[in-house]
Amino acid sequence: MTAKIRSAAPTVPVAYVLFKPEYEVLFLPCLPRMAGRDLEGRQGLEPGTSWDGASWEARRGVKEWLSAHYPLGKRYKETVDQLVLTRMIDLDVLAAAAVPCFGTLERAIAFFARAKAGDVYP
């Protein structure tokens, strides 16, 4: 990916980060803050929902795991729920949880402070 970006000769710095296994992994450390909350008119995660202690990036199917913790008959809908849950993320909690892909995102953001045109992260 980095080679492809460099070959395009960007005129601005470019960074990319892949979330393992998927974007929703960022929600996991913040579940206690999200559980039991209304999602702009939709029922969301059941009260008391918390991550089961497995490695943050170990389980595939985080979207399905989230759906299993919605009320009966409801499920996580990426196009409807993702933005609302993203707004509930506590960045301090997420950083303290040491989710590896979030650390990569933090380093990518820091990269822009010193990058020049055409630099690519990673």
Q: Give the pLDDT confidence score for residue 59 in this predicted structure.
A: 82
pTM over 0.75: yes
How many folded domains does the chain comprise?
1
CA gap 45, 42 in Å, rounded = 10
Domain hosting 47: range is 2-121
Question: pLDDT tens, 45-66?
Answer: 999 999 988 899 888 899 999 9
Residue range 83-106: mean pLDDT, rounded: 96
- Which residues, 6+ apart, have CB-to-CB distance to 81 below 8 Å? 39, 42, 44
* pLDDT tier for residue 39 given thresholds of 50, 70 and 90: very high
Q: Give the pLDDT confidence score for residue 52 in this predicted structure.
A: 86
